[in-house]
Amino acid sequence: MKFPHKTQLWLLVLVAWLTQGLQAQGQSFGLSVQPSTNQVVGTNSITYNIYLTNLAGYFLPSPAVTNSFSAQVTLASATSSQGSNYIASGNLIFGLGPMTNGGTATMTLTVIPISSGVLTNTVVAGALQATNVAGTNVVTEIYSADAELGIRLAGPIQHIYASDLTAYTITVTNSGPDAAPDVLLTNTLPASVLLISASKSYTASGSSQLFDLGAMHSGDAITVQISIQPTNANILAFTAGIGAPGILDANLANNTASTNLLISAYPASQLIAFTNSAQTINYQNGLMEQLVQVVNVGANDVPAVRVVVSGLTNRLVNAVGTNNGNPFVVYPATLAAGAKLDLLLQYINNSRTPFPFTNGQLNPFAVTVPDWTPPAVSQTSTNVNLRRIIQLSDKRMLIEFPATPGRAYTVVYSDNLAFTNARIAPPSVVAPANAVQWIDYGPPATISAVTNSPRRFYRVYQNP
């Protein structure tokens, strides 16, 4: 059975409103309604226990209680302590029969909602002989699913400087028992941040991006990576929220997440950089190589050194990031005041010949020490057996390992076999062949030239 709700509802509301004024003249009924719940998921039923007392002061021959619903429901059952019930004009009416003065009647009504949203049951008690009526509205939230959506933000590990290209990750989960339909992720960027790309398609809305993630089943997790470029040094607040229509989400606290990212300016330093060798082709790896030297001419040590190379038309292969579109390499250790440092830059140049390059393209900065701690061996199931480790005639170490062309691999090095203080040798290398010959040429890939290290151990794992 279905309950329509249009004209009848307005009439009943009007009656209920009038009741408020009439009650001031003396109540005819005592009416209370106790719903079994005020939140329902899916097609679970709602039971209303209705209690009516005759307060008219005299016998009432035929009082009635009308239940009018704001949306269609299915009647499961209806019982009363006296009288009977019937449907009229889409309303369920309890016709209670004779009630003595002070007499009480109990009614129980169970319905099943059909659609999600707000369901209001307007209950009105009245009788022809009564001077007024009594009424109340019972509101129940109807949800389509019981889903527990959650969202997390994970910022970059490395310290960020203004105009760095960086990224953060948004992870959306559904840990509830039901699927959540039409999950919508809203990501909001603070001012002074350029959105470079996102790993999923989105619709822009001001400073926000709306990601339609579709349905998320129980246990699903979706990761979205947002690549950004902060333009100014600042503390920036990144926020994201998740939601889905018509779901019961018991924990709304984890439907939003935020994180603050510290965007720094380069600390003051007095570093100069200049080329220290000619460009030469390395036939061992097919790359153009050139040494540059960085000198700390200031009075203070710098914790680490970044050299941003501008004006390039060839790719800087051993860059670990970009700043304002310019690639940079990082020396991950202190450069003492007055000390100098050689860094090897590796380029791809399809002519395999030197290309024009000036010292003005080298921009050295002091930076904090990057965190290049590798995952533990036990955490990487893709560790690769090295085929050879040999020392080349120029004293560099060559590591050869089998590879799948096109897959990325990361080299880890340490000065002890337990790898207790291991570091990644960035960047990861994409295999150009079925074997990779990776060369430890010293900084910036590793913290020092092999000849300056008493021992060096290597391991390699394939990136996920």
Partner 1 sequence: MPKPKRQFAKCFRRPYAWGAVCCLAGFVPSAKAQPGIYNDADSSKFVRIPSDADDWTRHFRVGALVGFNLSADFKMQGGFGISGNDPANGIFADGYVRTDQTGNARGHTSYWGYNSASQYDAVSHTLKMTALSDFNASGGGHDDKNAIPGFELAYGGNLWYWKHARVGWELGFGLLSVNISDNRTVDGTITQSVYTFDTGNIDVPGAPYQGGSSGQGTLISATGNKLPGPTTTSGTVSGSHSLDVSLYTIRLGPSFYWDVTERIGVSLGAGPAIGVASGKYSYNETITTSGSSAHSYGKIDGADVVYGGYVNATVMYHFNDSGRNADVYVSAQYMPMGNAGFGGGGREGTLNLGGQIYLSAGLNWPF
Q: Which residues make up the interface to partner 1 (CB under 8 A)? A: 281, 283-287, 317, 348, 350-353, 387-388, 390, 392-393, 398, 400, 405, 432-435, 437
| Cβ proximity to partner 1, 387 vs 395, nearer residue | 387
CB atoms within 10 A of CB 41: 21
Closest to partner 1 by CB, 237 or 433: 433
For residue 258, what are its two tokens? Answer: 């935020």
Q: In the complex, what is the shortest distance from the CB of residue 41 to partner 1, in angstroms, rounded to a whole number?
A: 55
Ramachandran quadrant class, 219 (left: phi over 0; alpha: psi -120 to 50; beta: rest)? left
Do 369 and 397 form a contact (C-beta atoms < 8 A)?
Answer: no
Nearer to partner 1, 238 or 347 (CB): 347
Task: Tell me how far, at minimum, the Cβ of 384 lies from partner 1, in Å.
Answer: 14
400 vs 415, beta carbon nearer partner 1 = 400
Min CB(256)–partner 1 separation in Å: 45
Q: Which is nearer to partner 1, 40 or 397 (CB)?
A: 397
77 three-class SS: strand
Task: Supply 410's token pair.
Answer: 């990361």
Q: How far is the CB of 404 from partner 1 (least distance, A)?
A: 11
Least CB distance from residue 438 to partner 1, whole Å? 11
Q: Which is nearer to partner 1, 187 or 462 (CB)?
A: 462
Structure tokens at 306: 């970044």
Closest contact distance (angstroms) between CB of 279 and partner 1 is: 13
Angle (CA) 123-125-130 rounded to 5° is 160
Q: What are phi and psi of 16, to 5 degrees?
A: -65, -40
If the CB atoms of residues 313 and 393 are measured against partner 1, the closer one turns out to be 393
Which residues lie closer than 8 Å to 5 by C-beta, 6 or more apart?
A: 68, 69, 70, 71, 72, 90
DSSP-assigned letters across all residues of 156-216: -SS-EETTB-EEEEEEEEE-SSS-EEEEEEEEEPPTTEEEEEESS--EEETTEEEEEEEEE
Q: How far is the CB of 432 from partner 1 (least distance, A)?
A: 4
